Amino acid sequence: MHQLLTWVVEPGFFTSEPVRAAVVTGSAVAVVSAVAGIFTVIRGQSFAGHAFGDIAAAGGSGALLLGLSPLTGFIGLGIIGAGAMDLIGVQRVRGRDLATGIVLGAAIGLTALFLYLDTTASATTGAAQQVLFGSIFTTATTTLPVVVTCSVLVAAVIAVIWRPLLLATVSPDIAAARGVPVRLVGMAYMLALATAVGLSSLTIGAILSTALLIGPAATALRLTRRMGWALAAACLIGVAAIWAGILLAYDSYYWGNTHQGLPVSFFIVAVIFAAYLLTGLAGRRPARPHGTAVPSAGDAIRDQVAA
């Protein structure tokens, strides 16, 4: 029995300080990502959600160059990017993705320039790798109060615009008729998303940022169409994935003879991916086949909003 326990949880897991820090940070970020992610999936803006990660990276490398704090760069450029997307974008989904793509392209170009200037200025190698594959165990240190403040801010904004945003997502015309400032609400959401993704990219890395934003929310929305339950499920799945992923990564150091282990991000993403696939097997009726990317907000959500 004892052997089984140590097989699942390798020695030293619960007492390790980095593990504890990673679990706390990861769980907090998972919750914020799930909250932002629910609307991202419903609105069909996964591209924007992912793009903000790359835009944040551009901001980060720029901040490095200018000597500003990484957080300022990560979130600052995201906010500018959100504004630019809104300026270019149109209401239809394809137009939005195009706007996202254009802004993203410009941002990545800036990343190229900033990284080049960074390496020539300070001879740091591996920056490109770090930018893309930053790890939850070795991230730049951000003070906990700042992370908490930003998280609470994001959650508060989304809580405030919850109902109008839902209505504007499902039916912009009805929302406008009811006096909802559709454009403004959409903009507020984008700013919240940019902040959330900037925060998560900085603390847990670019890959996990997107994975935690989209994965748990998409899985939850496959299980239920009621918004409250979906939100709870998304938070639960995100946090569970973090814990399971960290545990597996910790254990993986003891696997085999090489004692190298695999990165945490790999395990967390694998758990999220597996959870999503599993819900596909046991889930509800499959989504209507679409030829191209047209989001379906779901009839149940429409019913709930109209009620």
Partner 1 sequence: MFAGFMMNTWAVATIVAPVAGVVGYFVVLRGSAFPAHAIPKGAFAGAAAAALLGISTLIGLAVFSLLGALGIGALGRRTRHDVATALALVMMLALGAAFLSRTTEYEPEIYSLLFGEILGVSATELLPVAILGAACIAAILLLYRPLTLSSVVPEIAEARGIRPYRIEIAFLVIVALATAMAIPVVGALLIFSLMIGPPAAARSLTSHPAIAMLLSTAIALATVWIAIAASYQMNWPVGFFVGTFAALSYALGRGCAAWHRTHATAPALHAATPDA
Q: Which residues of the chain form contacts with partner 1 (CB under 8 A)?
A: 41, 44-47, 49-51, 54, 88, 90, 92-95, 97-98, 100-113, 115-116, 125-126, 128-129, 132-133, 206-207, 210-211, 214-215, 218, 222, 260-263, 265-266, 268-270, 272-273, 276, 280, 286-287, 289-296
Q: Which is nearer to partner 1, 133 or 254 (CB)?
A: 133
Q: Which is nearer to partner 1, 198 or 263 (CB)?
A: 263
Phi-psi region of 68 (alpha: psi -120 to 50; beta: other; left: phi over 0): beta
Residues 6+ away with beta carbon under 8 Å from 74: 56, 57, 59, 60, 63, 198, 199, 201, 202
**In the bound complex, what is the minimum distance in angstroms from residue 15's beta carbon to partner 1?**
24
**In the bound complex, what is the minimum distance in angstroms from residue 115's beta carbon to partner 1?**
7
Alpha-helical regions (H) of the chain: 2-8, 17-42, 46-66, 70-88, 93-122, 127-133, 144-160, 162-170, 172-177, 182-204, 206-223, 227-252, 264-282, 299-306
Are 222 and 233 in contact, with CB atoms under 8 Å apart? no
**In the bound complex, what is the minimum distance in angstroms from residue 160's beta carbon to partner 1?**
26
Q: Which is nearer to partner 1, 185 or 218 (CB)?
A: 218
Distance (Å, whole) CA 18 – CA 122: 28
Q: Which is nearer to partner 1, 159 or 262 (CB)?
A: 262
Q: Which is nearer to partner 1, 149 or 296 (CB)?
A: 296
